């Protein structure tokens, strides 16, 4: 936790206004001197989309923990994506990325939205050529990498910026570091439910509340819920309906939820886990841990929600839905 906090303060502790203004400042002044600063400039620049209408930040909104606010973001030509845009805070050191885990590194993750026809739609060689033809980026890449733009250093820069998006300044962090009053009584009770009766900790464990595993929580039935998740990446039928367990830091500002954005609020998410069969009764190969209702009371649901809200970093707290 100490290391995470140091990274946050040194690299990621930027205000929303700073993040939003960062591209324009660096673009105008030609001042990126690190990979992360260059990556930030690229992240906010429309130059990486085919028609120059979208940037990475068009779907990964800084003020919402770099998630989107709709179930499916829209790519070039208004084409909707097929899965909900995940938040990209606290991704350093993860072993896989995307809902289906198809990328093993942040560099691989950074590539996919750029080249996807449903997202930014720009072939990577065209992106490289476009940047090399831009005087500002010519100079920036020479300054940072001492080479022209290549696919490798382009992706390294974006990944370096994403690695700065670590958050560790939430009421929960202060609570576990010794401030007994950092969380509300409701959130404290909710934490005990999280690791106890509600069994959330079975999947959402560790510092960022993800065990970096894949789980089938019953949101695939082969009928109206057709996204097969991990199967799309592995073609292994044993992975039908499995999805990457997302981290829960800043989850209160990243609605809607699940790979398909089917739940609009945290209470809807909790209601599903409380009684899965009421929401989706025919999920195929749902994890056995979800076969029995949790039987949470209304007060316990509220307490659990309060704990999840307490995972919100201070920089995003104004965006928490009430």
Q: What is the tens place of the pLDDT at every residue in 236-245?
A: 999 999 999 9
Checking if the pLDDT of 24 tops 50, the result is no
Summarised one tens digit per residue, pLDDT across range 182-203 is: 999 999 999 999 999 999 999 9
Q: Give the list of residues 6+ apart from residue 156 with CB closer than 8 angstroms, or none.
A: 35, 39, 107, 145
Mean per-residue pLDDT, 97-120: 97
Tell me, which fold does domain 171-319 have in CATH? Cytochrome Bc1 Complex; Chain D, domain 2 (1.10.760)
Written as six digits, the tokens of 266 are: 């945290």
What residue spans in the chain does CATH classification 1.10.760.10 cover? Answer: 2-162, 171-319
Long-range pairs of 142-146 with CB within 8 A, sequence gap ≥ 24: 143/32, 143/33, 144/32, 144/33, 144/34, 144/35, 144/37, 144/38, 145/35
Give the C-alpha distances (Å, rounded to integers) separating 92 from 50, 86, 177, 241, 296.
Answer: 28, 15, 22, 26, 34
pLDDT in the model for residue 318 = 78
2-162 CATH, one of 3.40.50.720, 3.40.366.10, 1.10.760.10, 2.40.10.10: 1.10.760.10
Distance CA 99, CA 84 (A): 9
pLDDT in the model for residue 31 = 66
Relative orientation angle of helices 106-115 and 124-132, to the nearest 10 degrees: 90
Q: Give the list of residues 6+ apart from residue 25 with CB closer than 8 angstroms, or none.
A: 31
Summarised one tens digit per residue, pLDDT across range 267-322 is: 999 999 999 999 999 999 999 999 999 999 999 999 999 999 999 999 998 777 65
How high does pLDDT run on average in the chain? 91
Mean per-residue pLDDT, 53-58: 98
Checking if the pLDDT of 11 tops 60, the result is no
């Amino acid at each position: 936790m100490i290391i995470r906090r140091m990274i946050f303060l040194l690299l990621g502790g930027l205000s929303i206004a700073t993040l939003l203004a960062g591209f324009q400042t660096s673009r105008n002044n030609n001042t990126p001197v690190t990979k992360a600063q260059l990556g930030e400039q690229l992240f906010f620049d429309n130059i990486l989309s085919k028609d120059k209408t979208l940037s990475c930040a068009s779907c990964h909104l800084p003020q919402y923990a770099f998630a989107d606010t709709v179930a499916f973001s829209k790519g070039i030509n208004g084409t909707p994506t097929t899965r909900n845009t995940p938040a990209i805070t606290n991704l350093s050191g993860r072993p896989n990325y995307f809902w289906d885990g198809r990328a093993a590194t942040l560099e691989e993750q950074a590539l996919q939205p750029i080249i996807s026809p449903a997202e930014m739609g720009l072939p990577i060689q065209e992106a490289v050529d476009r940047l090399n033809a831009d005087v500002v980026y010519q100079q920036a890449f020479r300054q940072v990498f001492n080479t022209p733009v290549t696919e490798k250093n382009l992706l390294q820069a974006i990944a370096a910026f994403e690695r700065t998006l670590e958050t560790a300044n939430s009421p929960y962090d202060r609570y576990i570091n010794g401030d007994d009053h950092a969380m509300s009584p409701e959130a404290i009770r909710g934490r005990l439910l999280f690791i106890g009766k509600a069994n959330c900790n079975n999947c959402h464990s560790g510092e960022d509340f993800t065990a970096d595993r894949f789980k089938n929580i019953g949101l695939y039935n082969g009928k109206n819920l057709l996204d097969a998740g991990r199967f799309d990446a592995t073609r292994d039928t044993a992975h039908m309906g499995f999805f990457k367990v997302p981290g829960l830091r800043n989850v209160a500002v990243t609605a809607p939820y699940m790979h398909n954005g089917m739940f609009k609020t945290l209470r809807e998410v909790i209601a599903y886990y409380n009684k899965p069969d009421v929401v989706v009764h025919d999920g195929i190969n749902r994890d056995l841990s979800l076969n029995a209702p949790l039987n949470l009371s209304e007060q316990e649901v509220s307490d659990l929600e309060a704990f999840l809200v307490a995972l919100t970093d201070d920089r995003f707290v104004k965006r928490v839905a009430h």
